[in-house]
Amino acid sequence: MPLILETVVVTLSPEGAVHLVPFGLIQDGAAWVLAPFRPSPTILNLDANPYFSASSPSDVRVIAGAVTGRRDWPLVACDRIPGQRLADSFGHAEFEVAAVEEDAVRPRYRGRMVHSAAHMPFFGYNRAQAAVLEAAILSTRLHMLEPEKILTEMRYHAIAISKTAGPAEREAWNWIEDKVAAALGREDRILA
């Protein structure tokens, strides 16, 4: 299995509009690969503007927010590519698309890193941040997984939230719980 880093990727539309989305970057030798499923604004953007940034957010609410429709997070200009990156991050990298492997379902955009930078010290994640990340990923698979599997995994991740979450992680968890409950037609909460 390849190394996959969960990041926040920013691309630009042909008109210059920003598209921010959580994305797993796949390491493939010296390259990093984006493999979005069709249809995707990311695909349209990369075809028009073959550059992207990937940031490691310092606030897990960015990932939870993006998967629940909250995409208005502070951005700043990239250093070496035409584009933007997440402002509040431990670090970021900037990529130019070096090659595209076409696929009817999931094309692969091979990125060549042209710049990277660290922005703040990293002291570590708490378990709640990891639980929010996993729950956010689950919430993007609601159409692919059985409801009971989703609920079982959410119940397990809720343990870490109840034990180690601060206010930001609890807020992020609530956004995801709302999304899952709405998709599954549930009114009860996993985490009271």
DSSP string for residues in 97-129: EEEEE--SS--EEEEEEEEEEE-S------HHH
**In the structure, what pLDDT confidence band is assigned to residue 2 with cuts at 50, 70 and 90?**
confident
Contacts with 144 (C-beta within 8 Å, 6 or more apart), sequence order: none
Q: What is the pLDDT of residue 191?
A: 81
Query: What pTM was computed for the model?
Result: 0.91
Q: Identify the three-state secondary structure at position 30.
A: coil
pLDDT of residue 187: 86
pLDDT at position 106 is: 94
What DSSP character marks residue 131? H
pLDDT digits (tens, 9 = 90+) for 126-160: 899 999 999 999 999 999 999 999 999 999 999 99
CA torsion sign for 114, 61, 127, 179 is negative
User: Which residues make Cβ contacts (< 8 Å) with residue 55, sequence separation at least 6?
Assistant: 7, 8, 10, 85, 86, 89, 91, 92
Amino acid (1-letter code) at residue 151 = L
The pLDDT confidence band at residue 162, using thresholds 50, 70 and 90, is very high
Say if CB 36 and CB 66 are below 8 A apart.
no
Confidence of residue 122 (pLDDT cuts 50, 70, 90): confident
Q: Domain boundaries in the chain?
A: 4-118, 127-184
The stretch 80-106 carries a mean pLDDT of 96
Query: Which of the four CATH numbers 3.20.20.480, 2.30.30.790, 3.40.50.300, 2.30.110.10 does domain 4-118 have?
Result: 2.30.110.10
**64 closest CA partner among 145, 180, 156:** 180
pLDDT tens for residues 41-51?
Answer: 999 999 999 99
Measure the CA–CA gap between 18 and 74, rounded to whole angstroms: 11
Reply yes or no on whether the pLDDT at 6 is more than 80.
yes
Q: Cα(138)–Cα(32) distance, rounded to whole angstroms? A: 23
